[in-house]
Amino acid sequence: MGPRDHPSPPVARVAVLIPALNEERSLPLVLRDLPRDLITQILVVDNGSDDRTAEVARAGGACAVVEPRRGYGSACLRGLAELGRWPGGPPEVVVFLDADYSDHPEQLPALVGPILGGSHDLVLGSRLSGRRERGAMPPQSVWGNRLACALMRLLFGARYTDLGPFRAIRWDALERLGMRDRDYGWTIEMQIKAARIGLRVTEVPVSYRRRVGTSKISGTVRGTVLAGSKILLTIARYALEPRVPASRPAADLQDAAAR
């Protein structure tokens, strides 16, 4: 047998966490394109779907749990609680990836590379710096992201270009953030807190395409308004706080998911 018959194991424990709500059509494509040689765990959090999302997740080689409380942050918190209880302990790196196949899972090595190399704690996939398929991001999403990033630069000195969901972070850095948001504010909460506590953050350009199906956020007026309002309120709330709370122990990731 040659070396291709025995792929080298990952140099670190890398988990992929995929929140999913009614994504039975797109999820198999996401799972198919993930570079399995770099990943030790794949966890899909079914956020109260009424289709076969959990079933196709397991059929695609992922573990699946159900978080009935709707909300992107709720799904992420439940997933982190599950990973914290994983046999052998939590992973060293967590990659967050959407289930709608708008991101390119095969670009995962670009996100985890700076973390595995020891130079960064958090790596953000920037859709606005990468190649976007025409129509993949509606105008309100593009301008909303630019506005949020401009406000974070003004208020927190953070130089971001996007709030994209495709991102990777060290587990110990994630614990220090004390994540709490249960819905649309999850990504911006992470970026604001990362800036305020001095995590080593970088962005890498990622490609972005039209998602499979209709977006629950930018695809509806209600979703767009709710997401935009929550993002602006989150920025305002942290701008008025004197400082980010002190770091919390690993058990608190499980406590946060239970609240």
- The model's pLDDT over 93-143, given as tens digits with 9 standing for 90+, comes to 999 999 999 999 999 999 999 999 999 999 999 999 999 999 999 898 999
User: Which CATH fold topology does 3-258 show?
Assistant: Spore Coat Polysaccharide Biosynthesis Protein SpsA; Chain A (3.90.550)
Q: What is the pLDDT of residue 221?
A: 54
For the chain, the structural domain boundaries read: 3-258
- The model's pLDDT over 18-64, given as tens digits with 9 standing for 90+, comes to 999 999 999 999 999 999 999 999 999 999 999 999 999 999 999 99
Give yes or no for residue 258 having a pLDDT over 80.
no
123 and 115 in contact (C-beta within 8 Å)?
yes
Q: What is the pTM of this model?
A: 0.87
Beta bridge partners of 124: 167, 203
Pairing of strands 93-96, 63-66: unpaired
32 and 59 in contact (C-beta within 8 Å)?
no
Average pLDDT over residues 144-164: 96
215 pLDDT tier (thresholds 50, 70, 90): low
- Phi, psi for 151 (deg, rounded to 5): -65, -40
B/e letters for 169-206, b = 16+ CB within 10 Å, e = fewer, are bbbebbbbbbbebbebbbbbbbbbbbbbbebebebbbb
- The model's pLDDT over 200-210, given as tens digits with 9 standing for 90+, comes to 999 999 999 99
Cα distance between residue 254 and residue 79, in whole Å:
9
Give yes or no for residue 256 having a pLDDT over 70.
no
Cα distance between residue 72 and residue 202, in whole Å:
23
CB count within 10 Å of CB 6 equals 8
Q: What is the pLDDT of residue 244?
A: 46
